[in-house]
């Protein structure tokens, strides 16, 4: 079971704006499914061959994940560089860890995270 949704709501409204303002974390920009509004979500972005993997701490039911899957694209800002991403897909823990470098820190086991989002860099 991923992190509880109530914690996600706190993160979205309290901690995420500060993270975005600091400009330290990678920030994923995506478009809302219903609103069409652009949203920014600070995340850990793990580079893999040809793209990135994101750990779905709140599961694939999170709004940002649904937005990206619906749109099929997103933009990632890493260290001031904008990277266009496409082809979002939810993958298993096993598939993710086959692609991630061994130096990548795994989330704590008690979180029981089993879903990851993989996206390709747009060419």
The count of C-alpha atoms lying within 13 angstroms of the C-alpha of 104, restricted to the half-sphere facing its C-beta, is 18
Query: Whole-angstrom Cα distance, residue 90 to residue 35?
Result: 23
Three-state DSSP state, 8: helix
Evaluate if residue 8 carries a pLDDT over 60: no
pLDDT > 80? residue 7: no
Q: How many C-beta atoms lie closer than 10 Å to residue 82's C-beta? A: 10
pLDDT band at 41 (very low <50, low <70, confident <90, very high): confident
pLDDT in tens, 45-79: 999 999 999 999 888 998 899 999 999 999 999 98
Which stretches of the chain are assigned E, i.e. beta strand?
27-31, 38-42, 46-48, 51-55, 73-78, 81-92, 115-121
pLDDT for 80: 87
Say if residue 107's pLDDT is above 90: no
DSSP letters along 51-75, please? EEEEE-TT-TTSHHHHHHHHHSEEE
> Picking from 9-13, 100-104, 109-113, 116-120, which range would have the lowest pLDDT averaged per residue?
9-13
For the record, the structure tokens of 119 come out as 């996206």
pLDDT at residue number 16? 55
pLDDT for residue 49: 96
Q: From CA 16, how far away is CA 11, in angstroms rounded? A: 6
Which of 38, 36, 118 lies closest to 85 in space, CA to CA?
Answer: 118
pLDDT at 17 over 90: no
For the chain, how are helix, strand and coil distributed in percent, rounded to 5?
A: 30, 35, 35
- pLDDT (0 to 100) of residue 110: 83
Give the model's pLDDT for residue 75. Answer: 96
Class of domain 5-121: mainly beta
């Amino acid at each position: 079971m991923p992190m509880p949704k109530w914690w996600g709501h706190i993160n979205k409204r309290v901690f995420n704006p500060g993270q975005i303002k600091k400009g330290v974390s990678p920030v994923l920009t995506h478009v809302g499914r219903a609103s069409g509004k652009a949203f920014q979500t600070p995340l850990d972005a793990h580079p893999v061959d040809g793209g990135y993997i994101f750990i779905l701490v709140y599961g694939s039911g999170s709004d940002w994940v649904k937005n990206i899957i619906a749109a099929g694209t997103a933009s990632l800002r890493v260290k001031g560089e904008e990277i266009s991403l496409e082809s979002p897909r939810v993958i298993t823990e096993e598939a993710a860890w086959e692609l991630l470098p061994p130096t990548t820190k795994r989330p704590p086991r008690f979180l029981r995270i089993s879903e990851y989002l993989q996206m390709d860099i747009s060419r």
